[in-house]
Chains A and B, each alone.
Chain A
Amino acid sequence: MIINHPLLGPRDSAEFVVLGDACLIDRPDGMNAAIEEMHDYAYIRDNPAGEHRELWYHEQGDRSWLVVTRSTLTHEVIEVELARNVARARGRSR
């Protein structure tokens, strides 16, 4: 599987480690969130047949976190974004 890194171009997926669902970016505020909300954040995941957004880490490359949108049916990589840009677009500071 080839991941088209937004800065470095096509890279082999062997250079990456995958963390899982990109919903991990949206962590609730642990000081205020209800216990159900934290439970869902930690344990509940969708398991879609089709498009899936995942966090990938370019460990053996430039060590950037990416949000990779890929199809779980075909393994086609549809979109690759820098995770920091995704987080900033949601109003986070870094």
Chain B
Amino acid sequence: MAEIALEAAPVLGGTSLELSGNRIVERDDLAIVSIATPLGGEEALAEALRNGWSLDVPEPARSSLSGTVRAIRTSPDQMMLIFPHATPDAEAVVQERLGGTGYTTDQTDSWIALEVAGPDTISAMERICPLDLQSFEIGGTGRTVMEHIGAMAIRTGDDAFLLLSASSSAGSFLHAVETSYRYVT
């Protein structure tokens, strides 16, 4: 029988663009696990997050960061944990530290993450993003629609954002972001 080996490829082929001093980079190394809060289990989950990652439960529209692990508040009873992780067992790894205090779902392959940074980032983003990203504090997050595509934005620096969008429409999303940069540079 033939030997078949499958190798995972980045959704956007490991895109890394440089546009007049701005960067658009696909982060293929990130695992994403959503954590839903059980009814009445807020305290236990907060303690597990503190003990497991030294993370605070993020306030609405905020994220909290501890080392390379980021927790993003996505809805009143849900957050996402994003962290560099190479193997396809992120959910089990997270659940091991949570010890059943949250409901976890592995979302890694459903999303793509784009790191956008550079002096024209705010100008490029405000063309396609209805949120007032300028007013975001560092660590601020929001989920919205950009070019009819659902997306999440996290401000990671003065001129830097992490953008999350569905992997099924990743090509269109990258096109929208790249085009917007080209218009302002």
Known: A9-B61, A15-B145, A60-B143. A94 touches B39 (CB 8 A): yes
B interface majority secondary structure: strand
**Contact among A7, A9, A61, A82 with B143 in the assembled complex (CB-CB below 8 Å):** A61
Interface size bucket, A side? 10 to 19
Q: Are B145 and A7 in contact (CB under 8 A)?
A: no
Known: A60-B144, A61-B143. A7 touches B76 (CB 8 A): yes
Q: How many A-B contacts are there with CB distance less than 8 Å? A: 33
B143 CB to closest chain A CB, in angstroms? 5
Of A7, A11, A61, A63, the most chain B CB neighbours within 10 A belong to: A61
The reply to whether the CB of B60 lies closer than 8 angstroms to some CB of chain A is yes
Known: A8-B61, A14-B145, A15-B145. A60 touches B75 (CB 8 A): no
Chain B 144-175 interface 0/1 with A at a Cβ cutoff of 8 Å (1 = within): 11000010000000000000000000000000
Of A15, A82, A94, the most chain B CB neighbours within 10 A belong to: A15
Interface size bucket, B side? 10 to 19
Q: Of residues 35 to 94 in A, which have CB atoms within 8 Å of B's CB atoms?
A: 60-64, 82, 84, 94
Q: Are A8 and B130 in contact (CB under 8 A)?
A: no
The reply to whether the CB of B74 lies closer than 8 angstroms to some CB of chain A is yes
**Contact among A7, A63, A82, A94 with B61 in the assembled complex (CB-CB below 8 Å):** A7
Q: Which residue of B lies closest to A7 (CB)?
A: B60
Q: Are B130 and A12 in contact (CB under 8 A)?
A: yes
The reply to whether the CB of B142 lies closer than 8 angstroms to some CB of chain A is yes
Known: A7-B60, A9-B61, A82-B76. A62 touches B130 (CB 8 A): no
Q: Are B143 and A62 in contact (CB under 8 A)?
A: yes
Residues of B with C-beta under 8 A to A8 = 60-61, 142
Q: What are the 5 tightest A-B residue pairs by CB atom distance, in nearest-first order?
A: A62-B75, A7-B60, A60-B145, A12-B130, A63-B75
